[in-house]
A and B are shown apart, each in its own frame.
Chain A
Amino acid sequence: MGKFQIKLQPKKYDAIIVGSGAGGGMATYVLANAGLKVCLIEAGPMFDPAKDSNQLKNPWESPRRGASTKFRPFGDFDGCYWGWEIDGEPYTQAEGTKWEWWRARMLGGRTNHWGRISLRFGPKDFKHKSIDGLGDDWPISYDDVKPYYDKIDKLLGVFGTNEGLVDAPDGIFLPPPKPRLHELFIKKSATNIGIPVIPSRMSILTKSINKDRGECFYCAQCGRSCKIYADFSSSSALIIPALRTGNVDLITDSMVREVLVDKEGLATGVSYVHKPDMQEYQVSGRTVILAASACESARLLLNSKSPQHPNGLANSSNVVGKYLHDSTGADMGGIIPELFDRKRYNEDGVGGMHVYTPWWLDNKKLDFPRGYHIEYGGGFGMPLYGFNWGIENLNGTYKIKGKQKEAGGYGASLKEDYRYFFGAHLGMAGRGEAIAREDSYCEIDPNVVDKYGIPVLRFHTTYTDYEINQAKHMKETFSEILHSMGAVITWGGDDNKENNYGLHAPGNIIHEAGTVRMGDDPKKSPLNKWAQAHECKNLFNVDGGMFVSQGDKNITWTILALSMRTSEYIVDQLKKNEI
């Protein structure tokens, strides 16, 4: 390493955007198309699904047959670089906390591998405190956001159906794919016991929407990212088109260290370390838009201390990092004997469920305050590492072609067993709303830095009965559905009070939000209703951090709508020289 110096980028931009996921990608797209000059800084490398996806690779093309690694925890072909741990970038936990933190490092971030589940918030999701007294209301309502949901439905594409459900609002949908066999089984039985099953809502193009993106060809590998851009990735649908405007300078492999401010306390730009040469750089902009993911953006603000902002940038409320919450999650799976030895056909479909269950009950009658939706899985999955692991738990329990066999075994008889059970499994997962609490938070660890010298986060999170009782209800519901379809539970059926009914650790569902929340009161929220910092009017945050609560809906679609709304506001304000 040579002499230490900080290199200043000569150009001054209209906006510096930190992070290229859903929020950052949308901000880049809107600003670039409005003619503004944008510098987009991404911590990870370039990634273009058209070139870099592992879509359509066969299992045997991976030496580990698609197994998970620390580099790709969702599997060797998965479209996300890094995950639960990143070499040289630790984080810490307070005693008694188990927070699992997912961090992607690539252009497009997690949107390359996400589940494409695209659910609007309903009107109640913005005003839960007014309903049950818990948490806080958003400073905006569904009516403020609806025009943007409509715009992104059209711009990005989402399939589904209009069902007239107030809490799962109608949208502008492409046609959904027909349910698969196990989904028809679920639909029939669940509906019979009063649980609705409707077409899922996923950001996958069953019909072409523009000349830049292809139409889905049903390989079920959205998680690998799509070579023809038929599913939503921030890279595919927003950043790569934005690059074509000529208004975007993209800096990859660069970790932003700090947001810089002037003596008035206004943001002037950011400093970052460029990983390939490990040199320090600074770049100037009229606005700074943070979209590094909820916790990373909070970290950045907390690490941006100055005489004007001694408690971290935009943090005299001391709220940055607080109200951290994730979706809840609990699951269960089983096997349907009626589906043993079934006829083979290509059952891939899209990369996820063709049907789902939106929250259907009244929480006033239950012992937990917020709802959850149910996601379903099953069918003929591609054989990958772990294929039919533990067959000794199955092949002695059921007769195979009329023969009772001894559990375990080997030989031609065993091969017959693997064929017999293929495609008879199914699973279901609940994704619910947790209560955002002030005492659930991340802060800067006073002792630890990462390999770039940036102080790391320390997490303090727990779940309460609000979430635990919800998980118990999920398990009871899954059990009912599985029994009603004649399925036998094979996993997830033994959870109980001792392990919080199998409730996943916070962070594990990878929908974290709340750390830089919006609100009308600057003493209780760092951002105003435009996701603009109360104390620094040219600073914005457009990732999950800005959420006050998250409904029982995966947050990506709302991140995109809110980021578009804020970005249009920024364009307006910049053009008027208000910021």
Chain B
Amino acid sequence: MDRRKSLKALALGTVSAGLLMDACKLADKKEADKTIVAKEDNSDNPTGINRMKEEMAHYKEETSYTFFTPEEMVTIAVLADIIIPKDDVSGSATDAKVPDFIEFIVKDMPEHQVPMRGGLKWLDLQSFNRYQNAFTDCSQQQQIEMVDAIAYPKKAKPEMQQGVSFFSLMRNLTATGFYTTEMGGKDVGYMGNQPNQWNGVPADVLKQYNLAYTDKELKECISFS
């Protein structure tokens, strides 16, 4: 297997790895005839990733309905952008379509449904008590005041504790939804997920932490010059 060829083709992402395996060209028809292999029906797979048929059926089922109401989705979007706003490094949670992720994930993980729906309701009731408006109808300053009361678990008042739990969940889901996007991955600086040659910790980083490879490691480990 020519490594440079395989790296290049995979990096382009256009070539199926099956084509790279010359030796595995089961163009040997006799092999195909002799296997009694159930045909995996993937014609139905809209997802773009490898799925078993049971996974596809499950995905169809859970995407066949909408959970959050349009009003709830607006509140989610406002909260998400308070949690992850646009800054000088990257865009906001709504730029990264986090609310759509949250809509899907509560159907995929039903244990989030009651805490999210109940939490959103709790928030609107709190806002109404304070400002005579649902959360999204409040002014920006009022919204921030409201969030400040539930965003800090260690200093929130005891009667705000349910709101703290809700906001922590909302923060967790927003962060998960954001940092698993292309925008979020770039923001946090994840540089992996591509074919490369691991030649060890970069020299300047070794120096920074006062570390070095031993002679044994330099001799025995795989090196790329």
Residues of A within 8 A of B (CB): 45-46, 48, 50-67, 69, 71-72, 76-77, 81, 87, 159, 161, 174-181, 184-185, 188, 199, 206-208, 211-215, 217-221, 227-229, 240, 243-244, 246, 248-253, 274-276, 338, 342-350, 380, 382-392, 396, 406-412, 414-415, 418-419, 422
B108 touches A383 (CB 8 A): no
Max chain A C-beta neighbours (<10 A), residue from B26, B50, B108, B200: B50
B16 touches A380 (CB 8 A): no
| A-B interface pairs (CB < 8 A), number | 297
Q: Specify which chain B residues have a CB less than 8 angstroms from the CB of A184 in the assembled complex.
A: 201, 206, 209, 211
Q: Is there a chain A Cβ closer than 8 Å to B196's Cβ?
A: yes
Interface size on B, residues (CB 8 A): 93
Q: Is there a chain A Cβ closer than 8 Å to B74's Cβ?
A: no
B191 touches A50 (CB 8 A): no
Q: Which residue of A lies closest to B150 (CB)?
A: A408
B18 touches A48 (CB 8 A): yes
A217 touches B55 (CB 8 A): no
B30 touches A60 (CB 8 A): no
Q: Is there a chain A Cβ closer than 8 Å to B23's Cβ?
A: yes
In the bound assembly, the distance between CA atoms of A137 and B136 in angstroms comes to 71
| CB-CB under 8 A for A348 and B154, given A388-B175, A391-B171 | no
B188 touches A422 (CB 8 A): yes
Q: Specify which chain A residues have a CB less than 8 angstroms from the CB of B16 in the assembled complex.
A: 50-51
In the bound assembly, the distance between CA atoms of A415 and B171 in angstroms comes to 11
| CB-CB under 8 A for A407 and B55, given A50-B21, A348-B192 | no
Q: Which residue of B lies closest to A174 (CB)?
A: B222
- Contact among A212, A218, A248, A406 for B196, CB-based, below 8 A: A218
Least distance between A371 CB and chain B CB atoms (Å): 24
Q: Is there a chain A Cβ closer than 8 Å to B134's Cβ?
A: no
Chain A residues touching B, majority SS: loop
A411 touches B192 (CB 8 A): no
Q: Is there a chain A Cβ closer than 8 Å to B84's Cβ?
A: yes
A243 touches B191 (CB 8 A): no
Q: Which residue of B lies closest to A205 (CB)?
A: B1
A419 touches B1 (CB 8 A): no
B188 touches A382 (CB 8 A): no
- Contact among A67, A348, A418 for B179, CB-based, below 8 A: A418
Q: Which residue of B lies closest to A220 (CB)?
A: B192
In the bound assembly, the distance between CA atoms of A382 and B19 in angstroms comes to 27
Least distance between A142 CB and chain B CB atoms (Å): 24
Q: Is there a chain A Cβ closer than 8 Å to B168's Cβ?
A: yes
Q: Which residue of B lies closest to A390 (CB)?
A: B172
**Which 6 residue pairs of A and B lie closest in terms of their CB atoms, listed nearest first?**
A227-B17, A178-B200, A217-B195, A344-B189, A348-B192, A65-B180
A344 touches B191 (CB 8 A): yes
